[in-house]
């Protein structure tokens, strides 16, 4: 299954039932995961953010599993941890750290939702420099470790300098 097909399947299984519900009733109980699971996913997100913001591609990609898929905002599809690492290393080499020292960035807004005991979806909105956007990450729990199996990043706005 390609990254796009996987993300489409997860999105259809996650978002469409949510949209069809009346009121604020959740489609899937948030508590499908434990507090320990929630903290592990939050820690993985923080590691990725810290790596990206410091210009360290290895730290930014440490929680992507070997068969991960990443779709960048330009439509480029990356398959596998090594390809994701190489692309992020190249992007960081060309742009430097994402958050220059001394320039405050608003924290991203993450919504973590457990689809099952072993699958979680993280929806994020963010501002990074002159860009704003959103992303969808799918985490899976393998061998008692939460890893990113799929991610799609969309840039919504780029402010012209």
With 50 as the cut, is the pLDDT of residue 16 above it? Answer: no
Q: Which residue has the tokens 């939702």?
A: 113
> Where on the phi/psi map is residue 7: left (φ > 0), alpha (ψ -120 to 50), or beta?
alpha
What confidence category does residue 20 fall into, taking pLDDT thresholds of 50, 70 and 90?
Answer: very low
What are the residues facing 126 on neighbouring strands? Answer: 133
pLDDT tens-digit map of 46-64: 999 888 888 899 999 999 9
pLDDT tens-digit map of 92-110: 888 765 655 445 466 778 8
Please report, for the domain that includes residue 130, its CATH number: 3.10.450.50
Alpha carbon of residue 51 to chain centroid: 14
DSSP-based three-state secondary structure for 29: coil
**3-state DSSP: the chain helix, strand, coil percent, rounded to 5?**
40, 35, 30
% of the chain exceeding 70 in pLDDT? 71
Name the nearest CA neighbour of 149 among 69, 88, 86, 71: 69
For residue 78, give its domain range. Answer: 3-20+29-158
pTM of the model: 0.76
DSSP-based three-state secondary structure for 161: coil
138 neighbors 7 (Cβ within 8 angstroms): yes
Domain count within the chain: 1
What are the residues facing 142 on neighbouring strands? Answer: 145
């Amino acid at each position: 299954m390609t990254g796009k097909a996987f993300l489409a399947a997860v999105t259809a299984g996650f978002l469409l039932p949510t949209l069809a519900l009346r009121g604020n009733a959740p489609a899937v109980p948030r508590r499908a995961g434990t507090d320990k699971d929630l903290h592990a996913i939050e820690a993985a997100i923080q590691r990725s953010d810290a790596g990206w913001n410091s210009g360290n591609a290895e730290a930014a990609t440490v929680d992507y599993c070997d068969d991960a898929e990443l779709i960048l905002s330009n439509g480029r599809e990356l398959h596998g941890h090594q390809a994701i690492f190489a692309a992020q290393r190249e992007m960081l080499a060309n742009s430097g750290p994402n958050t220059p020292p001394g320039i405050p960035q608003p924290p991203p807004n993450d919504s973590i939702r457990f689809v099952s005991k072993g699958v979680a979806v993280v929806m994020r909105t963010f501002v990074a420099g002159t860009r704003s956007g959103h992303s969808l990450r799918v985490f899976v729990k393998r061998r008692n470790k939460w890893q990113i199996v799929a991610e799609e990043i969309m840039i919504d706005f780029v402010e012209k300098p």
